[in-house]
Amino acid sequence: MAEKLVELKQLSKRYDNKTVLNNVSFSVRQGTIHGFIGPNGAGKSTTLNISVRLVLPNSGEEYIDFKSVKNDPRFNERLGFIPAEPKFPSLSVENYLLDVGYLRDIPKQEVLRKLSGSPLSQFRYQNCHSLSTDPSFRQDLFNNLKNIRDKGGTILMSTHILSDLQKLADDITMIKKGRIVYTGAKTADIEKTYEDYFVEKDRKLFDL
C-alpha cells in the first residue's frame, strides 16, 4: 500500500453562518488517481481550493509528505492545479502555458519544447474554453492522467461523473453536504455505495 502523500485533516469552512465543509478528512496515496465525487454544492471545489490555499479553512490542516503546508511556503512548487472552469477561457492553450511558464520562471523556449513534444500540441491554438468541452481532448486528458500516475505522479480529481472514476481511479472519496460519506478503495461495488448515498430511490416518477 502506497504512502499517503496528501492528507487533509478535519477541514471546516463557513461562509457567513453557513457551514460548507464539516470536518473533511481524507488522504491521497502517492502514485494513485484519487477521485473526489459528490453532487453540485457538496463542497468539492471548496476542498480543492483549500488544498492549494486559494481559500483558507476556518479550521483543519493539510499535510503534504507529512509536512503541514502552513509551515511550508514552497509547498505548491510540486503541485499543479487545473480548475474546473478555465480561468482565462479566451487565451489559446499555447499562450496560457507561456503565461503560466512566465510566472514560474520557465523560459519560453522550454515551454514551447515541452508543448511540441506533448499530446497537447494538437490543441495548441484552440482557446481554453473550447478545449474544456472537446471530447477528443477529454480522452487524451484521461490517457495523460494515467501516464502521469504510471510514472509515479499523484492525482486528485474532482468530478460529478462516477463512470469516469470507474475507468480511472484507484481510490474514491464521496462528499455530501460538506461531509465525507465514503473514502477508500474503488471496490467492485462502488456503484452501489454511490447510489446508497446519492440516488433517491423512493422518488416516484409518476407521482405528480
Ligand X SMILES: Nc1ncnc2c1ncn2[C@@H]1O[C@H](COP(=O)(O)OP(=O)(O)OP(=O)(O)O)[C@@H](O)[C@H]1O
| Residues engaged in binding ligand X (CB under 6 A) | 15, 20, 38, 40-46, 160
Nearer to ligand X, 2 or 161 (CB): 161
Any residues with CB less than 8 A from the CB of 15 and at least 6 apart, and which? none
CB of 102 to ligand X, least distance (A): 28
The answer to whether residues 120 and 93 touch, using CB atoms and an 8 Å cutoff, is: yes
In the bound state with ligand X, the residue whose beta carbon lies nearer, of 144 and 159, is 159
Q: Residue 119 CB: number of other CB atoms within 10 A?
A: 12
* Cell numbers standing for residue 38: 459528490
| Shortest CB 114 distance to ligand X, Å | 30
- In 3D space, the residue among 20, 108, 14, 30 whose CA is nearest the CA of residue 66 turns out to be 30
The CB-of-147 to ligand X minimum distance in angstroms stands at 26
CB of 62 to ligand X, least distance (A): 16
Whether 144 and 153 have beta carbons less than 8 Å apart is answered as no
Grid cell 478503495 in the structure block, residue = 185
Nearer to ligand X, 48 or 97 (CB): 48
In the 8-state DSSP scheme, what is residue 157?
A: E
The nearer residue to ligand X, 40 or 163, going by C-beta atoms, is 40
